[in-house]
Amino acid sequence: MAQWDLMQRPLAVTIVAGFLFAASFVAWLVGAALLYPTRLTDWLFTLNPAARAGFEAMGWTAGVLLLALGCGTLAASAGLRRGRRWAWWFAVTLFVVNTAGDVIALVILRDWLRNGAGVLVGLVFLLALLEPRVKAYCRG
């Protein structure tokens, strides 16, 4: 019997895994929209015009990287729910990098609402992942 069968899954694991699951679909949607532009692409980027400029500067590579990120976050979501250590490390690394990016953007752009919220959300997820019960659950 696997270790995760013996220990009840902490609520924080379920929440973070659910967020990663949702993030997979967002990454796939945006990645596909970059590789195969449609009217939906134009509508999506009205929500964040700055992202469009950054993605277009990267060319098709941005779409491929987002599709790969979607695969990684989906795998991490499933692995985290099963208490896999690699998935815990993936999630921690992802949130550290994302939070660091938001801190840098906050310093440069001074967009306290968008980047400040990003920093706050990233820190909350990191604190949840670093909780002793979560770390103990993810030792499999």
> Which pLDDT belongs to residue 9?
95
Contact present, 103 and 95 (Cβ < 8 Å): no
The series of mean pLDDT values per 10 residues for the chain, 140 residues long, is 65 97 95 88 82 87 96 98 97 97 91 90 97 91
Q: DSSP alpha helices (H): ranges in the chain? A: 3-6, 11-35, 39-46, 49-58, 60-81, 85-109, 114-130, 132-137
- Token couple for 88: 């815990």
Q: Is residue 1 part of a domain?
A: no
- pTM for this predicted structure: 0.86
Q: Is residue 43 part of a domain?
A: yes
> Which pLDDT belongs to residue 2?
53
The total of structural domains in the chain comes to 1
Euclidean distance between the first and final Cα of the chain, in Å?
Answer: 11
- Token couple for 99: 């939070």
> Which pLDDT belongs to residue 61?
95
> Which pLDDT belongs to residue 1?
42
Q: Is residue 103 part of a domain?
A: yes
CA distances 20 to 9, 24, 72, 95, Å, are 16, 6, 9, 10
Identify the domain containing residue 115 by its residue range.
9-137
Q: Is residue 40 part of a domain?
A: yes
Q: Is residue 20 part of a domain?
A: yes
> Which pLDDT belongs to residue 5?
52
Q: Is residue 3 part of a domain?
A: no
Q: Is residue 129 part of a domain?
A: yes
Q: Is residue 68 part of a domain?
A: yes
> Which pLDDT belongs to residue 140?
60
**How far apart are the C-alpha atoms of 51 and 47, rounded to whole Å?**
9
> Which pLDDT belongs to residue 84?
97
